[in-house]
Structure 1
C-alpha cells in the first residue's frame, strides 16, 4: 500500500485536510500507528489514543478538530465505518496465490476459463466447468462438473463447489466452504414415529423402528451476484429444484443452509445459523448468531432474528424476534421479566394463603 492522503480521500469521497500530499504506506490502530501509517480513529474515543502512537495522518470523522490532535493531515468521511469498506479493500495485499494456472493444478480439457483466471496449486477444475474472467481459485479448491462461476469469483483455499452449481459475479468464498453437498433427506417405507410426533405434537403412535431410505439431491445450488460466504459454511443442494441464495447476501462462518431453501437479497446471516430444509427468507433479513429456523417456514422481509432465537413458526415482514420459541422481542422481554418476578409472586401468594386461612380460623 502506498497512497497520498488526497488519493485515499478521493477514493472514499471524503474531505482531505492538512498536507494532502503526505504519503501513507499502511493502516493501523491509533496507539500502534507509525509515522507512515494512516491511523484509524473514526470516533473521539479512538482519537484519544492517537498520542500513544506516531501517526501524522488519520481517518477521523466529519468536523473533527484534526489540528488539535497534533496531526499533519486527516481524512474526514461522512460515515467513517462505511469508508472502512473501500479503504480496507485498497490496502488488501491479497493472499499470494500467484497468476495463471499453477503446474500442479488439474484443469479438465473441457473446462472453460475466462481471461486472467488464476488457478492455484492443487486446485481441481472438473469437466465442462466454467470459470469467469478475473476469477481466482485458491489452493486445493474444487469446482465440479458443469459448475459455473461468474466473473471475479474469489475462492480461498479448500473450497468445494459441487456439480451443476451456478454462481454469479463477484463471489467471495472463504476457506472450507462446501456448496452443493447432498441434502439431509431420508424417508421410511411406512409412516414413521417422527411424522406422528409432528402431527400430534408429542405422540409417536404405533409406528415402530424402520430403516431410512435416501432421497437423492438433483437440484444443485444457484447463487446470485456479490454474495460472500464465510469459513466452513455448508449449503446443500435442492432435491428437485435448486437451493437459492439471492444477490448481495452475506453469510458468516459455520452456517448451514438446508436443501430447497430460498434466501432472498441483501440478507446478513451470522455465525452458526442453521436453516432446516425448504425455508424461505425474504430480503433485508438479519439473522444473528446461533439462530435456528425449523423446516418449511417463511421469514418475511426486513425481519431481525436476535441471537440464539429458535423460530418454530413463520415470521411476518418487519418483525424483531427473540427467544425459544421465538416471539416478538418486546413480548419475550416481558415474559423474561415476569419469570424473574415469579419467586416473589409465589411468596406473596403463600403469605396471602396463610392470612386467609388464619382469618377463617383454620390454622
Structure 2
C-alpha cells in the first residue's frame, strides 16, 4: 500500500513540470509514425511530390528561377523600326549554346547567329562576339518577353516569343553574296558580309556551278562574286557550305565593303524603289553596270542584259535582251522595272544609293546588294 502511494506521488510531481499554457487538441493532431532511420539522418527532408506541370511552373516562377534542362524552341515575330517585322526562330540548348534565325519580312535578309546563353534568374542574354541580340525575360517556362533598354520586360504581346510544343531544328538556308574560287575541283566561298571562308560541298547543286565556272574563260582560275542560296553544315561540318540554289556569277563585281562612294560600275545593285513604291526584296531585282558599257542582271523572274552609254550624269540604256519565263508573283513588277530602266536619262550615285531619273523625276532607286 505504501509503495503504490509513493509511485502515485512521483507521477503527479512529474506532471506538474509541464507548461500549463500549452494546449494540444488531440483530435486534430496527426502523430507521425516513428521512423527507423537513425538519428544522424533524421533531418533529411521528405521528397516533395509535384502532381502536374502547372505546379512545377508556379514553383519556378515564385522563386524567380527558370531551368533550361531540355532543348527548347521559341518563335514569333518582333517589331522592326523600318520594316513590317522580324521573324525569330530561337533554339536554346541545355548545354549552354543557342542558335537563332532572324528573317526580315519583305526583305531578302536572313541572319543565322550562334553563341552561348546566360541566365540570370529569369533574364536571358544571348552572347555573340560579332552581333548584338535582344535580351529576354522568362514570363513563364513557355513565354519570352523582350527587354527594353532599361532591362525591363515589355508586356506588350507584340514583343514576345512563344515556346513550341516540340524542339525544331533551325532552317539555316539564306541568300549569300561572296567570292567563289575553284582549284582542283575544290571550291571555297568567302561571304562579303561576314568575311568567313567556307569549303563548298560537292553536291548535285554544286556540280553545275563548277561546270559553268570551268567553261567560262573570264572566270576560270579567278575569284568571282557569286550569288546563291545556301546553308552551313551542322556539328563537324559547320565550316562547310551546302548550295541549295545557285543564281549567277558577277565577273566584274567586288564586295560592297570595297565599293568607293559615288561609283556606278562594278557594284551589284539591288532595286529598292520603283518610283515611290518599295520593291519586295525577296524578288532580288539586281543589276550591274560594267566598264565595257554593258549591263546585266535579274529582274525578279528573268535574266537580262543590254548596252548602255554614260556621259557624266547622262544615261542611255538600249533595249534589253531578256529570257522569257513567266512568274505569276513578279512578272507585272518585272515589266515596270525593265521599262523604267530603259527610259532612264540621268544617273546619280550618292554614297551607297544609286538613283535613276527620267525628265528629272526619280523612277528607280538601288542599294548595294549584300546577299
Of the two, which has the highest radius of gyration?
Answer: 2
Q: TM-score, normalised by structure 1?
A: 0.28
Q: TM-score, normalised by structure 2?
A: 0.28
Higher relative strand content: 2
